[in-house]
Structures are given as structure tokens and as C-alpha cells.
Structure 1
Amino acid sequence: MTRQQEASTPHVARGGPAHAVTRAVQHPARLRPAAPARPETARPDVAAAPAEQAAPPRRLLVLDGLRLAAALLVVAHHLVRGPWGVEPGSLFGPLAAVASFGWLGVNLFFLISGFVICLSSWGRGLGEFAVSRAVRLFPAYWVGVVLTTAVLAAWPALRGPLPAPESLVNLTMLQSGLGVTDQDWSYWSLGAELRFYLLFAIVVWLGVTCRRVVYFCTVWTLVAAFSTTWDQRWIDNMIVPEFAPYFVAGVALFLIHRFGANLLLWGLVGVNWLIALYRLQGYPALAHFHLDWWSVAAVVTGCFALLAAIALGAFQRVSWRWLTVAGALTYPLYLIHQAIGQTLILALRDRVPHWLLLAGIVALMLGVAWLVHRYVERPLGGRLKRSLTTSLAAVRRG
């Protein structure tokens, strides 16, 4: 969608405000108070500088816990407000009201995704980036598609599986681009993630530096904002303008985490926060769940504030080992929870007390998610990584 190379930076008059912004992009450290130079921040504008190609920063365990919290919000939204046959509020009371906001867990996912992808891509080439994304996404996803298809076929209480051609093409994760229905409705968000990876791959191809990432964020913000008036559906399809503010803000917050805060980076976060709040008014969920804009905007603002606190180091000392397990459960849980969980609700809601059934389904989903991680993602992911790396090496030699 957006590629801005350093060579295309327009000339501006020296000393003026525009020149100051350009210098801020090229030297983010100049907007911070003077401090002893650190190796990774001394010259963030130099392409492929050794400091910028160093190993990525260490993993932030608090993000693993936050990802699981986001997944559980989505699970609550789909299961608490699932097909119980009566108004969920009469069964679950205040929990049903909280679950009405659970769809915002996906927005939080996108915010975290921008942060994590920028972190994990630092110092990697395009091939390594592509391999890491494939290994991360596909093993668990294939299991999710197969399990969901099997449950819908064997127990079509909710609906039957898609026709065979559509079920098979779901294995590619490209079904949204082909106009094919997702086997599990939650998979729609994976299409948005894939487009984000595709766009960020442009930066990885050029070489990830602070300056290039800032250019990327700036251009994506502007194109996503103006695309509304261009009436070009293919552009909207590529740049996901509805969710671009979350991805861009997450990337900018990672830059704050790695290089320190400055006015330019906070400006990117702030502008995208405001755009995100504006776009909330068009969400069908507000009318469907009788939510007012102010309450939804407050939740989104809280998500931005929480990730900003993480970027500023507020949770650096959090090192609980169970958070690694929490992060490992997140993706498989998301992939299997909706269609299978709602099928179980329809089949068992008249036989099992509602609280017990809800707790049992969530526990079952968490258990299956752990099994998928332990016996599919870990062994298959390692083999897939080795095979893809070998294949890339062969392609380069050719």
C-alpha cells in the first residue's frame, strides 16, 4: 500500500517548521532531553546500521498476558452472548453487560500486533520475516479449520460446514481475498492481520530502521484517513482503514519503547487514537448491543493507555513464568472458540446449568488450546521453519 523511501523525501527550507519535522523523523533523539547516547539510538536514521540490525529487544511477558486477556474478552463476547435461547442478561447478569464490549478485544489484538510485529522484525530480512509469520500462523490455524469443519459436519446444531471447495480454500487463509466465507466467523480478523504483514513487509524488504518505520506509519495514517473520500475499494481492501489506527499506534508505541518518547512519535499515537475514536461511531455493534459511543471510546482509550504504559516501561519487572503459557494459549484459543463453542451451547443448554456449561466450555477450549500448542505448534512449527529456511536458501542459490 504505502512505500516511502528515504530518497523521495521532499526538499524543505532550512529552519522552518517543516524542516524541523523532517529532522525529527531522521533523528528522533533530537526531540528528547539530552542523555548519554546508547548504541541502538545513536544514529537511528542510518539504513542498515549495525545497531539497528542487532537482535530484537527481549520479549515483554506482560504482552503475553494482555493477549490472553484480549482473547478471553472475545470468547466472553461470543459465548456469554451466544445462542442460549433467552436474553443473556437474564442468565449471566453483569457478565453479559461486560461481554457486550468483548468485541473490542479484537481492536486490542491489532494494537498489540503492531507493537509485536515491529519488535520481532527488527534485524530480520524479508525471508526471515516471512518464515516467522508462516510458522507462527499456519500450524495452529490448520488444526483450527479442520476441527471446526469436523464439529460442524458431525454436529450441525449451529450450521453445517461450508461446501468442500470453500472449506479447502479456508486452509490457505486467503479466503477473504477470494470472497469466501470463513469457516469460523472469528477468522475474519486474520485477513486484516495478513494485510498488515504484507504492508509491513515493504519496510522489512527495505531494511527496518527507525526512520523508515516512521515514514511507513505516517504514510499509512494519511492514506487510511483520505481513502474514505477516494471511493477506491481496492485501496480500502489493502489498507484496512477501519483498523489501521490500531496497527500504526502499536508500531509507534514500540518505537517509543525502543528509542524513547518524543513529540513526533506521540503525535502518531495521538492522531491514530483520535481517528480510532471517530471510526467507532460507525460500528454496528454499538446499535446492536445498545452501547453508547462514550463508553466504547473509554474502553478503546484504556487499551491505548495500557499499551502506552507498557511502552514506557511500567511493567518491565513483570516476569511471571505463567505469562509465557498464557501467550501460547491465545492464538489456538481464538481459532477454535466461536463455532465449536456455540455448537456446544446449542446442543447442551437444556441439559446442563448455564453457568456450569459456560465454565466447562471455556475450560475445554483452554485445554484444547494447550494441546494444540504442545503437540502441533511446537513440533510442527520447528519442522516447518527448518523446511522453509532450507527452501529459501535453495531459492537464493538459484
Structure 2
Amino acid sequence: MSALPLIRPTKPQPAPVATPASPGRRRPRLYALDGIRLLAALMVAVHHYAGTRRVNQPGNQVWDRPVSDIMPTVFHFAAYGWIGVEIFFVISGFVICMSCWGRTPRQFFVSRVIRLYPAYWFAVLFTTAVLAAVPGVWERLTPRDVLLNLTMLQSGSGVRNVDGVYWTLWSELRFYLLFLTVVWAGLTYRRVVLFCCVWGAAAMLAPVARLPLLELIADPEASWYFIAGLALYLMHRFGQDLLLWGILAMAWLMGQKELGQRIDEVEHVGSWRGAVLVFTVFLLLMVAVALGRTDRIRWRWLVTAGSLTYPLYLIHYAAGTTLINRLRDTMDARLLVAAVLAGFLLLSWAVHRWVERPVAGVVKKGLDAAFLRVRAQA
């Protein structure tokens, strides 16, 4: 893995250009990244169980009384757990850029389908079944809306999500669609930097332009987090330089603004200072990963931990809060939250082992055969 020199030689050197990685070359795994992903997922889950404005209201459907009265210390920290979503977006930018370097658009498309859909299909059906079996906490969707949720495109059709956490997938899908244009052109340092600058400019202009299509594409609420991840991966692959630090600094500055807006308009818990502090700590951890400071971490169990993240995120919220509603009077609240988390971690492992892996294999085989047929018939 090459790196830009920290001290420029006297002879002018050309800008770094990426050469496509060999498709068969195995990339070294960044174990620390798996650990950060799971930590972010656990933060989000604890937030939903014990840190949202909803669960802190008198007579709420989950705990029946303010969670800050039941476990004030847990609530104080859980109030910032939603920042795990922003960390997911940063990691997504890093991982997508890393995983599709040297790949064709077809390979990129197939990899995203088999990564996102198998666990998602299970989550939609599982959550729907839980809400049907245990009513009273969340409103159930009509069968046709549940079926539309299976496409993952329901937000584009104005249909509610089976589980509220699916809103992040709409941002992910738009990022993939945009980044596909760079994959199609061929990933290089220059093209990824240009993509970051153009997308960042569009995200900056979208709110004031008041053009719905531009705002839909630019996704100003999430774009700067993805851009931060892309810049961090370029640091990881090519080494640090002032341009990448500038992009990362701009992403942090725009991100802190979005964090404040989300507290004021959506979360209504925690403080801007606390949110910025938590986000900055996580971003510094990502910088450590990008610069190779965590390469010595080789704990094999982190691979398993990373594989649990996506299923856990998809299934924990609606089903978990419904379960808490039924069990809240049976044990200590903190013990209940820990038990529910443990149960969903175990279920997430089962989903990864017996749903994600086998279904992904079948879907990949079918898509590869379909694309070969398309090429043959062209």
C-alpha cells in the first residue's frame, strides 16, 4: 500500500493516481473498524431503549413513565446514542470506497445487493410478525405497505417504514447511486476528491436553492459524513495531505452544524456540546484507523462482532421496545435493557449465520448468471 511522502522531494512529482487493485488480491482486514461499528450499533440500540425523548415522557408506551426517573445515569449517556448513526455514515463512506476499488459497476451493484437485502428482508418480516403478535406499542402497516418495504424504496414512494430505523437506508441508497458514477469512471485519488468537492458543494447549496430534486440527490443531512469517510479512506490508501485534511475539517464543521439541528428538530435530548464531543472522539478513532495506528489490533472476535452490526441495527428497535413494554415490570430496568440487547445480539448472529450468508450466496450466483446472459445477448 503506497503512501504520499510527508516531505516533498525537490523534483516535482505528479499527483497520486490510483492503479486498480487486482480483483483477486486479498485486502488486509481492519479489525478496529469492526469494533467501532458494533459500538456504534450498541449506542443506537441503548439510545432507543433508554435515551429518546419518547421514552422520557410520562405514560410513554415503552416504560410507562420517564426513563430518566427509572435510570437517570443510563438516560444521561443514552441520550447521545443517536450519534452512532452519523458514525455509520462515516464508516460507510470509508468501507464503500475501500471495497469497490478496482471493481466494475456490475461487481459494485452485486456486492451492495447481497450485503443489504438478505438481512433486511428478514428484518421486515420479523418486525411485522412481532408487531402483529404483540400490538399496542407500534402501529402496524397495511400488507401492501409491508410488501413495498421489501423493496427498500418505500421512502421514495412516501410510504412509512416498518421500523423507524430504516430511514438511514434511504440515505445509503442515494450515496451508492451517486458513487456508482465514480466507480463507472474508474476510482482514482483525483476522481474521489473531485466527487467529494462536487457533492459537498451540492449539499451546501441544496437547502438555500430550495430545489426538491437537488435536495433529494445532495442529501445535505448525511452527505458530509459520507464525504468524511471517503477522505479518511484516501488517507488510508495514499497517505495524508493538506487537501484531505481540509475535506475532513470541512466535513467536521458541517457535521457539527447538522448535529445541532438534529438535537433541536428531532432528538430534543442531550446538548450540542456533548454531541460534538462524542462525534469528535469517534472521528478521531476513524483517523487512527485511517493512519494505521490501529493495525496491531488483530482480535479475531471483532470479525464476528462486525458481522452482527447490520442485523442488530435492523431488528432491535420496534421489536425491542415492544419486548420491553411486556417485560418492564418483571426485573430491574437496567438488567432488562442488558438482557434485551443480549437477546438481539444472539438473534443477529443467527440471522448472519443462517440468513445473510446462505441467501447472499444464492442471490450472488443468480445475479452473476443474469449479468453474463445480458452480456451475451448484447
- C-alpha displacement at 1:211, in angstroms? 1.1
| Paired residue secondary structure (2:150) | helix
Contact (CA 8 Å) 1:145, 1:171: kept in 2 or not? yes
Distance in structure 2 (CA, Å) of the matches to 1:97 and 1:51? 46
Distance in structure 2 (CA, Å) of the matches to 1:331 and 1:273? 25
* Unpaired segments ≥5 residues, structure 1: 1-27, 36-40
| Paired residue secondary structure (1:352) | coil
What's the TM-score, normalizing by structure 1?
0.87
Q: String of CA shifts for 1:330-374, please: whole Å, max 9, x gaps.
A: 000001000000111112212333233222211110111011000
What's the TM-score, normalizing by structure 2?
0.91
Matched, 1:33 2:7: yes
Matched, 1:201 2:171: no
Matched, 1:263 2:242: yes
* Cα 1:162–1:57 shift into 2, 3 Å: same
Contact (CA 8 Å) 2:124, 2:162: kept in 1 or not? yes
Matched, 1:379 2:353: no
Q: String of CA shifts for 1:207-226, please: whole Å, max 9, x gaps.
A: 11111111101111111111
Return the letter of the residue paired with 1:221: G
The aligned residue for residue 103 of structure 2 is 124
Return the letter of the residue paired with 2:254: I
Contact (CA 8 Å) 1:157, 1:347: kept in 2 or not? no
The aligned residue for residue 323 of structure 1 is 302
Equivalent residues in 2 for 1:136-175, closer than 5 Å: 136-175=115-154
* Cα 1:256–1:221 shift into 2, 3 Å: same
Q: Would you say how many aligned residue pairs link Structure 1 and Structure 2?
A: 363
Distance in structure 1 (CA, Å) of the matches to 2:68 and 2:7? 52
Equivalent residues in 2 for 1:354-393, closer than 5 Å: 354-393=333-372
Contact (CA 8 Å) 2:263, 2:270: kept in 1 or not? no
Contact (CA 8 Å) 1:152, 1:159: kept in 2 or not? yes
> Equivalent of 2:205, from 220, 223, 226?
226
Return the letter of the residue paired with 2:369: T
The aligned residue for residue 80 of structure 1 is 50
> Equivalent of 1:307, from 280, 286, 289?
286
Matched, 1:95 2:95: no
The aligned residue for residue 246 of structure 1 is 225
Distance in structure 2 (CA, Å) of the matches to 1:290 and 1:43? 46
- C-alpha displacement at 1:34, in angstroms? 4.3
Distance in structure 1 (CA, Å) of the matches to 2:20 and 2:266? 52
- C-alpha displacement at 1:318, in angstroms? 0.5
The two structures, once aligned, show a CA RMSD in angstroms of: 2.0
Contact (CA 8 Å) 2:110, 2:367: kept in 1 or not? yes
- C-alpha displacement at 1:202, in angstroms? 0.6
* Cα 1:155–1:397 shift into 2, 3 Å: same
Distance in structure 1 (CA, Å) of the matches to 2:126 and 2:182? 36
| Paired residue secondary structure (2:261) | coil
Q: What percent identity do the matched residue pairs reach?
A: 45
Distance in structure 2 (CA, Å) of the matches to 1:50 and 1:171? 35
The aligned residue for residue 59 of structure 2 is none
Distance in structure 1 (CA, Å) of the matches to 2:191 and 2:375? 25
Distance in structure 1 (CA, Å) of the matches to 2:91 and 2:6? 25
Return the letter of the residue paired with 2:38: L
- C-alpha displacement at 1:170, in angstroms? 0.3
